């Protein structure tokens, strides 16, 4: 892939500089396999959203290394509520475009959003997570700090650049969204991927919470004969039938809406026109100052 020159964004080192890690023994022996983080939901759909790290770290190839700083002003902060917080999934997405640069993954105390269920069926064989507005709700989530190429890869994986894609990337500002890092640093906001289809509700007018994938699929199938006709009676059948079947997934997505299961995420007001590009073409959107 042809590499393009990147423009400097914000203060600090140039975007081409790799994030700092602590050198020495602390950074050794931390393979994704040894940490239980090696399985990507794209390869194992029923494991969605995949395993999240126990602490902040730098995803560098097949390892999670310690970080010496939590804020990376030469990158943009992206809130991960689903598989983007899974190192193996991030590695899988980046490898698709030949990008192997490190990704800082920072645990954060986040107030104002919760994890809902996307109102679409993914061709990866699962029903994914989407952020929902939840004033006052506090969650431990991850912020991933992305450079230009990495941001374009994640945009592409979420369908941002195409009209028929499933997500928009939106900047969620404080104080509506409060992001506090472990050292007490508060961010001015973060990007998040807002589902264009909305999210599923729980039958009481509230967003349905995202749960373990097998339990989620079993619950969805139990509540809809039409969904069982499309995807079978078990989570395993659902995943197998959905995987790489664009038409079946589109029919399932339409069925969610037809059966009245869908509601807005409450974050649509943050979605606006955005400049996006293909992976490797440079900065797609300058980050707001932290």
Tokens of 113: 């959003």
Tokens of 12: 């600090």
pLDDT at 54 over 70: yes
The H or E element spanning position 191 is strand 189-195
pLDDT at 159 over 90: yes
Contact at 8 Å (CB) between 202 and 220?
Answer: no
Q: Other C-beta atoms within 10 Å of 65: how many?
A: 21
At 13 the pLDDT is 31
At 273 the pLDDT is 64
HEC assignment per residue over 65-84: ECECCCCCCCCEEEEECCHH
Residue 165 DSSP one-character state = -
At 28 the pLDDT is 52
Reduced DSSP (H G I as helix, E B as strand, rest coil) percent helix, strand, coil of the chain, to 5: 25, 25, 50
pLDDT at 5 over 60: no
Gap between the Cα atoms of 284 and 276, Å rounded: 5
pLDDT in tens, 7-40: 333 323 333 334 544 434 444 569 999 999 999 9
Gap between the Cα atoms of 259 and 161, Å rounded: 29
Q: Where are the domains of the chain?
A: 25-210+263-270
| Sign of CA pseudo-dihedral 31, 157, 147, 101 | positive
Residue reference for tokens 């079993």: 218
- Say what angle helices 213-222 and 235-242 make with each other, to 10 degrees: 90
Residues in the chain: 290
Tokens of 207: 């967003």
| Sign of CA pseudo-dihedral 105, 239, 221, 215 | negative
Q: Mean pLDDT check: name the lowest of 68-77, 222-231, 272-281.
A: 272-281
- The rounded mean pLDDT for the chain is 88
Residue 163 DSSP one-character state = T
pLDDT in tens, 229-283: 999 999 999 999 999 899 999 999 999 999 999 999 999 999 986 544 444 333 3
**Predicted model pTM:** 0.85
Strands 129-146 and 167-173: unpaired
pLDDT in tens, 163-201: 999 999 999 999 999 999 999 999 999 999 999 999 999
3-state secondary structure at position 172: strand
At 91 the pLDDT is 97
Gap between the Cα atoms of 283 and 6, Å rounded: 7
In the predicted model, what is the mean pLDDT of residues 58-70?
95
- Of 64, 196, 205, 85, give the one whose Cα is nearest residue 146: 85
In the predicted model, what is the mean pLDDT of residues 214-229?
98
pLDDT in tens, 88-105: 999 999 999 999 999 999
pLDDT in tens, 108-117: 999 999 999 9
For residue 218, give every residue at least 6 positions away whose Cβ sits within 8 Å of its Cβ, in sequence order, or none.
Answer: 234, 235
- Of 142, 159, 131, give the one whose Cα is nearest residue 57: 142
Quick one: what percent of the chain has pLDDT higher than 70? 84
At 272 the pLDDT is 82
Gap between the Cα atoms of 172 and 268, Å rounded: 10
Judge: domain 25-210+263-270, CATH 3.30.450.40: no
């Amino acid at each position: 892939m042809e590499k393009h020159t990147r423009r400097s964004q914000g203060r600090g080192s140039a975007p081409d500089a790799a994030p700092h890690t602590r050198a020495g023994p602390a950074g050794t022996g931390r393979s994704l396999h040894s940490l239980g983080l090696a399985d990507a939901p794209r390869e194992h759909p029923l494991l969605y959203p995949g395993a999240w790290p126990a602490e902040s770290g730098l995803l560098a190839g097949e390892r999670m290394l310690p970080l010496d700083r939590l804020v990376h002003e030469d990158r943009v902060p992206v809130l991960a509520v689903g598989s983007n917080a899974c190192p193996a999934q991030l590695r899988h997405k980046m490898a698709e475009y030949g990008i192997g640069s490190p990704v800082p993954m920072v645990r954060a105390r986040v107030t104002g959003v919760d994890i809902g269920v996307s109102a679409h069926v993914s061709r990866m064989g699962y029903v994914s997570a989407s952020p929902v507005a939840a004033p006052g709700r506090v969650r431990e989530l991850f912020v991933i700090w992305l450079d230009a190429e990495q941001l374009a890869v994640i945009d592409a994986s979420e369908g941002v650049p195409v009209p028929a894609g499933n997500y928009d990337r939106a900047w969620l500002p404080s104080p509506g969204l409060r992001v506090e890092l472990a050292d007490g640093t508060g961010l001015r906001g973060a990007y998040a991927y807002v589902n264009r289809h909305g999210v599923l509700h729980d039958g009481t007018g509230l967003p349905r919470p995202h749960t373990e994938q097998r339990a989620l699929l079993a619950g969805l199938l139990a509540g809809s004969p039409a969904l069982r006709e499309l995807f079978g009676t078990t989570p395993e059948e659902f995943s197998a039938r959905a995987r790489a079947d664009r038409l079946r997934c589109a029919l399932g997505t339409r069925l969610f809406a037809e059966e009245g299961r869908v509601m807005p995420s409450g974050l649509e007001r943050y979605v606006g026109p955005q400049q996006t590009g293909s992976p490797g073409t440079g900065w797609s959107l300058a980050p707001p100052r932290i």
